[in-house]
A and B are shown apart, each in its own frame.
Chain A
């Protein structure tokens, strides 16, 4: 079964420091992978996605993620944290449902705090 594990429910970084949010996936087929961000009491916004091709994916707000098949990972990084990056981040993998359609299965989320 395809699934996603996010390591660390809470991560704190200092402003200007590297942001690293970890995501490992389990998939029996080549995965399509997504990172979403959620600000308090709002919906989810797509940060970036990996489908095929280049394994280093650049997204919005300076974030990027690298697909590593050998490590079954899709970690999210940003070189320098900004106060506005404080939010909850969700990793997701596309799965094939029993009805023959595709769905997303989400990790439990990582809440990022940025310390001034």
Chain B
């Protein structure tokens, strides 16, 4: 089955540590996205990538980094510079064909800083 996988589902981190969240898709989508979700705040865009080896900052990129070395993969690193990293992180992908740009989401990773 085609889809988007995120791992791990739950992640615990000590303050001062970097941590990397995995996102893989087998939908053959060109574009991939990372969002952060906090209660009552909706989804906020962290980074997005339209093609391999290229990515752009979203609205809240500070304290995060990404890479896009393969079409299928778009890992997100939460660095120690992120002041409040505890949140639910969602990865999404979309095709660039056509104009609808419908985004499809993975199941999410819940990060908790201890």
Contact = CB atoms under 8 A, between A and B. Distances in A.
Given A106-B43, A109-B42, A44 B105 contact: yes
A102 B97 CA distance: 12
Interface in A5-58: 9, 32, 34, 36, 41-46, 49, 51
Interface string B52-64: 0000101000000
Nearest to B96: A101
Interface residues of B, number: 27
Contacts of A101: 31, 48, 50, 56
Contacts of B107: 42-43
B45 interface: yes
A43 B50 CA distance: 21
Contacts of B101: 32, 94, 102, 104
A34 B102 contact: yes
B48 A103 contact: yes
Interface in A82-116: 90, 94, 97, 99, 101-109
B114 interface: no
A94 B88 CA distance: 22
Interface string B89-112: 010100000011111111110100
Interface of B: 4, 6, 31, 33, 40-43, 45, 48, 50, 56, 58, 88, 90, 92, 99-108, 110
Given A41-B88, A97-B56, A102-B101, 8 more contacts: A42-B107, A43-B6, A43-B107, A44-B92, A44-B105, A51-B100, A99-B56, A101-B56
